[in-house]
């Protein structure tokens, strides 16, 4: 257990948590159950309503500014999460880049942006949305996993001779 969080394994653990964060965030981001009221369900990009023949869906469910802010922040979070993941994978698996402090810190910054924007997006939606559902919960979990990844990366950076 002592070797689990040693200097060499922290980036690998960070990357595993980051892969999970991005995966969970992608599902929450793309699915249409951020709000679910029984006769309607809404995602970031579509809303569906119960009609006589069945559910009818349309694009861009809301035109409110808060909803556009949520869409923008969640998109920024997802893109930053992917960038952070690509950079940490390069740091771990490309020998020429292994130990590159600048690359690791850039990945850390990208993950921090992912965490901040994702969590800010869900806070904005949570304040204005109603009947929050499982897609919203997955976005929250993704944001929290970004935070965990960032903490692990900070532990790695703060260790002497870690990078």
Q: What is the domain-level CATH number for residue 63?
A: 1.20.140.150
Provide the domain limits for residue 61: 10-158
Report the alpha-carbon distance of residue 76 to residue 121 in Å, rounded.
Answer: 10
Report the alpha-carbon distance of residue 89 to residue 85 in Å, rounded.
Answer: 6
Query: Once rounded to an integer, what is the mean pLDDT over residues 123-138?
Result: 92
Task: Provide the pLDDT for residue 5.
Answer: 47
Task: Indicate the SS3 state at residue 54.
Answer: coil
Q: Is residue 17 assigned to a domain?
A: yes
What lies within 8 Å, CB to CB, of 84 at 6+ separation is 18, 107, 108, 110, 111, 114, 149
Q: Is residue 5 assigned to a domain?
A: no
Query: Once rounded to an integer, what is the mean pLDDT over residues 47-66?
Result: 79
Q: Is residue 67 assigned to a domain?
A: yes
Q: Is residue 56 assigned to a domain?
A: yes
Q: Is residue 4 assigned to a domain?
A: no
Q: Is residue 1 assigned to a domain?
A: no
Q: Is residue 60 assigned to a domain?
A: yes
Report the alpha-carbon distance of residue 134 to residue 36 in Å, rounded.
Answer: 9
pLDDT higher than threshold 90 for residue 113: yes
**Cβ pair 110, 116 in contact under 8 A:** no
Q: Is residue 104 assigned to a domain?
A: yes
Counting the structural domains of the chain, the total is 1
Q: Which range scores top for mean pLDDT: 57-61, 86-90, 96-100?
A: 86-90
Percent of the chain with pLDDT over 90: 59
pLDDT higher than threshold 60 for residue 1: no
CA angle 35, 114, 44 (to 5 degrees): 25
pLDDT higher than threshold 60 for residue 68: yes
């Amino acid at each position: 257990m002592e070797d689990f969080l040693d200097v060499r394994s922290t980036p690998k653990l960070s990357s595993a948590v980051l892969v999970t964060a991005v995966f969970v965030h992608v599902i929450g981001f793309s699915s249409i159950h951020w709000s679910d009221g029984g006769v309607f369900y809404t995602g970031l990009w579509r809303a569906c309503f119960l009609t006589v023949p069945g559910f009818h869906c349309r694009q861009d469910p809301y035109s409110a500014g808060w909803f556009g802010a949520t869409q923008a922040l969640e998109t920024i979070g997802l893109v930053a999460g992917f960038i952070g993941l690509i950079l940490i994978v390069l740091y771990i698996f490309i020998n020429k880049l292994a130990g590159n402090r600048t690359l690791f810190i850039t990945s850390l910054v990208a993950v921090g942006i992912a965490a901040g924007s994702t969590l800010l997006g869900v806070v904005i939606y949570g304040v204005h949305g109603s009947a929050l559902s499982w897609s919203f919960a997955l976005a929250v979990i993704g944001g929290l996993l970004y935070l965990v990844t960032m903490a692990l990366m900070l532990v790695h950076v703060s260790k002497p001779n870690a990078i």
